[in-house]
């Protein structure tokens, strides 16, 4: 399994080179599927979404597919995922994304696809692998309102691969409240490990090995 879990996509050459290494060939000889599902649950201006999609497309893929996880038959969704070499899952609401995967019974098929493909997560797309993605972590992190706005009080982790939780956008200008003090308050409440990463950082998972790729700043609290 090859996961590159970013906060804001492939914003710098270090992250792009990490993906090239994981893919094992040039982008121009590979297919990518872009999954926008998490973004549709976010209100307001989506310039960030357009900018990231354009940046990804500009890397020059052999084929660039766009796949919404909701509303299509499950076999069609899984076939499209299997056709890609890189599965790129955009940011937005991690709760909506998690509920879309479980609600459409996609978790098992997606995990099977990841046995021979590279997964790139952006923000919400990076947060869905923790077994601590629950209503408890929503209270700890302080984003339970994002779950409740979906009309839900609980969330089931789609995969539960790791005990650590990933929280993106540390020190981000787009999230000015996410500073050192914000992270410290979360750590004081948390009873599970957390990676805090900024917009120039990714947590990389290759099989059982976990490390951090960064041109920025990050924190890990076990």
Count how many domains the chain has: 1
Q: How would DSSP label each residue in 136-178?
A: HHHHHHT-HHHHHTTT-S----SS--BS-EEE--TT-TTSTT-
pLDDT single digits (tens) 7-58: 999 999 999 999 999 999 999 999 999 999 999 999 999 999 999 999 999 9
**Smallest Cα–Cα separation from 140: which of 200, 92, 77, 191?**
191
Q: What are the residues facing 119 on neighbouring strands? A: 3, 87
d(CA 164, CA 191): 10
**For range 74-103, the mean pLDDT:** 97
Mean pLDDT, range 59-77, rounded to an integer? 97
Beta bridge partners of 63: 31
- Residues 27 and 60: their CA atoms lie apart, in Å, by 6
The two three-digit tokens of residue 172, written as one number: 């981000």
* pTM for the whole structure: 0.97
Q: Quote the strand ranges of 22-100, DSSP E.
A: 31-35, 63-66, 86-89
The whole-number pLDDT of residue 160 equals 94
Record the tokens describing residue 151, joined without a space. 């009309």
Share of the chain above pLDDT 90, in %: 100
pLDDT for the residue numbered 71: 95
Q: Which helix (H) or strand (E) holds 48?
A: helix 47-57
* CATH number for the domain harbouring residue 126: 3.40.50.880
Each residue's pLDDT tens digit, 135-194: 999 999 999 999 999 999 999 999 999 999 999 999 999 999 999 999 999 999 999 999
Q: Look at residue 65 in the predicted model and tell me its pLDDT.
A: 98
Distance between CA atoms of residues 151 and 69, nearest Å? 19
Separation CA 43–CA 145 (nearest Å)? 14
Q: Which domain holds residue 42?
A: 2-221
Rounded to 5°, the CA angle 191-193-194 comes to 115
User: What pLDDT does residue 205 have?
Assistant: 98
SS3 content of the chain, % helix, strand, coil (to 5): 35, 20, 40
């Amino acid at each position: 399994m090859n996961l590159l879990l970013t906060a804001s996509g492939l914003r710098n050459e270090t992250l792009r080179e990490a993906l090239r290494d994981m893919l094992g060939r040039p982008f121009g000889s590979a297919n990518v599927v872009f999954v926008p599902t998490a973004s549709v649950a976010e209100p307001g201006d989506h310039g960030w979404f357009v900018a990231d999609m354009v940046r990804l497309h500009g890397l020059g893929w052999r084929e660039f597919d766009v796949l919404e996880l909701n509303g299509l038959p499950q076999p069609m969704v899984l076939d499209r995922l299997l056709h890609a070499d890189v599965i790129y899952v955009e940011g937005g609401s991690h709760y909506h994304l998690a509920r879309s995967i479980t609600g459409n019974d996609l978790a098992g098929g997606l995990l099977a696809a990841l046995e021979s493909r590279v997964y790139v997560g952006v923000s919400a797309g990076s947060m869905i692998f923790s077994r601590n993605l629950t209503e408890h972590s929503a209270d700890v992190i302080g984003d339970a309102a994002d779950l409740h706005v979906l009309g839900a009080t609980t969330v089931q982790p789609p995969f539960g691969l790791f005990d650590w939780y990933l929280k993106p956008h540390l020190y981000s200008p787009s999230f000015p409240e996410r500073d050192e003090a914000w992270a410290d308050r979360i750590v004081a409440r948390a009873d599970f490990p957390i990676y805090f990463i900024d917009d120039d950082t990714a947590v990389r998972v290759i099989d059982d090995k976990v490390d951090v790729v960064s041109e920025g700043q990050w924190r890990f609290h076990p």
